[in-house]
Amino acid sequence: MKTMANIVTGFVALSHFGILVLEMFFWDHPVGRRIFQMSEEVSAASATLAANQGLYNGFLAVGLVWGLVSGRRDLKLFFLGCVVVAGIFGGLTAKPSIMLTQGLPALVGLILVLLAGKSGADQTE
């Protein structure tokens, strides 16, 4: 169970690094416009805001990696919880599919980390 929890947590981290790249470097680029379905005007006008969003997604990814590398269950739970909340908020305010693409994988990871329980490798709790 712990291995599966770590795999899903790693997937969530990797996806958020990908979002960082898209939002910080490809937002105002044909690739970003196609993925996020925006016109050139909209992407140009919102590029600074998107870069800021990308940075925050990077912080989430780094936090998840920190939890994985350190083996700290509390960090995994905290950062997966943050992603779940961000996924729900994004789904309600921006695009409903965000709940599925970001929120659902994080929720699955959160549940798996909880089910895996505290092991001897966990340093806190």
Per-residue pLDDT tens digits for 57-111: 999 999 999 999 999 999 999 999 999 999 999 999 999 999 999 999 999 999 9
Q: Is residue 28 part of a domain?
A: yes
pLDDT given at position 118: 73
Encoded tokens for 116: 């895996």
Q: Is residue 23 part of a domain?
A: yes
Average pLDDT over residues 17-25: 97
Q: Is residue 123 part of a domain?
A: no
Number of structural domains (the chain) is: 1
Gap between the Cα atoms of 77 and 53, Å rounded = 21
Q: Is residue 122 part of a domain?
A: no
User: What is the pLDDT of the chain when averaged over all its residues?
Assistant: 93
pLDDT given at position 119: 57
Q: Is residue 108 part of a domain?
A: yes
Burial 63-88 (b: 16+ CB within 10 A, else e): bbbebbeebbbebbbebbebbbebbb
Residue whose entry in the numeric block shows the structure tokens 């970001």: 102
Under the banding of pLDDT at 50, 70 and 90, the label for residue 48 is very high
| Number of neighbouring beta carbons within 10 Å of residue 39 | 9
Q: Is residue 50 part of a domain?
A: yes
pLDDT given at position 65: 98
Q: Is residue 71 part of a domain?
A: yes
The domain in which residue 76 lies consists of 2-116
Encoded tokens for 92: 């309600």
Gap between the Cα atoms of 41 and 114, Å rounded = 44
